[in-house]
Structure 1
């Protein structure tokens, strides 16, 4: 016997409330005048003004955003080729090893990845004198290593859904494989690329473990600053900063969905 429609909507509503009530309460208390995070007194923009003058938080947020953007771009470029090879090149010699290496960061704990990269950079600095110190570049390498796997899986699943006859027809008409990839395959998987970019951006800006191992003096990311402050007690500035990030991400996701849907409608119109 299947559950009734009202019962399904009830459970769905409970699930959404469980997910979004903490976020809504965080946004509401970011406008609280009291220094106690959980005690409401009156509406105020006090903590947003304090956030503007908090150089440590602003610098950490700006560093995290830059690393996340660079990570997302690099991960999409490398992960797209990796996913395309998995989906289109068949089972070549070494395919199992290749697929395993692509999927390894998904199952290896970040602590192990962080220690491995740290030891690698330390030994490289001894032998080659590079990198001279840990900072934004080493964090970026670690985040790219983590995010490539996610992009590759997304792209692989999308490429497998494509009708290969379209690419074959272009090859029969004289197009080179590289031209087919950039002119036909890439536009068809553009939604997967956007999804991979957004996921990589989120994973990078939220990462704490890898950043803790790969950061150095002057390269403290936002999660590291927030984690160090939260251990000493909740600060209303965190609510204000989190609210700004939620607004930024929401606008970005809505804009990405709008442009993806518009491009899909245009593509379907041309097909029809």
Structure 2
């Protein structure tokens, strides 16, 4: 045994992975079950994937959720970036404590409170509930997660690069676009993916602010599961797991390639010196 790989440590590690991933593996296996009972194996069959692709309710809800998640992630990333930059670069300013509290409050606020508050706001404004209200509600809490991620990355950046650019005549806006944004790119991508996932996964807040014709995928899945889990839901869960896995693999490959390029550039610079 290598140093640090104690049998107890290995057992705890295996138990942890099994606890996290065994239900997902079971879901994937039973998505190919031929029978309607999700707890009894009746034989291998991919027919439920065909049934899923022919279900207009699920397809419509999935498309709605994807559009909302994409818009939410894009807007939340921009707003969260501005909020994080204000906290990380502007130093002490009047109202900083209040602004910091407002940026972090939705992180600890229960979804029920957030959903009820946004519902009362839209009712008070006589705003017709639908896709737009769900998107605004999702942006409200997603931008806070973005701000936390970007601010953490911003605090570790070397400000000398920004200062050097401004010493050479670059204006603050140009320095922000050409120097700061590229250095924040990995954090921005991670924040965008997190905001997209949070929106795609939300059920409670969307249930408060949704209106006629704006049913999201989690709402449809929840309504179907209340009557019993069907193999179509297993097939849907399997497709989502595969999609998320593919996105993670692609992102990891991109980051690995960027890191290898950065190391190669650093080695070339050292040799030149």
TM-score, length-normalised on structure 2? 0.94
- Match for residue 200 of structure 1? 195
Shift of 1:59: 0.6
- Match for residue 25 of structure 2? 24
- Match for residue 100 of structure 1? 101
**Any idea what the Cα deviations from partners look like across 1:202-232, whole Å, max 9, x if unmatched?**
1000000110011011110011111111111
- Equivalenced residue count is 265
- Match for residue 252 of structure 2? 257
Shift of 1:179: 1.1
- Match for residue 68 of structure 1? 69
CA distance in 2, matches of 1:87, 1:52: 47
Shift of 1:3: 7.1
1:151 to 139, 146, 149: 146
- Structure 2, unmatched stretches of 5+, are 268-273
- Match for residue 184 of structure 1? 179
Shift of 1:134: 0.8
Shift of 1:173: 0.8
1:238 aligns with 2:239: no
CA distance in 1, matches of 2:266, 2:82: 27
SS at match of 2:228: coil
Deviation larger for 19-28 or 74-83: 74-83
- Structure 1, unmatched stretches of 5+, are 126-130
CA distance in 2, matches of 1:37, 1:101: 45
- Match for residue 128 of structure 1? none
**Any idea what the Cα deviations from partners look like across 1:138-178, whole Å, max 9, x if unmatched?**
00000011100000000000000011111111111111111
Cα root mean square deviation, aligned = 1.3
- Match for residue 56 of structure 1? 57
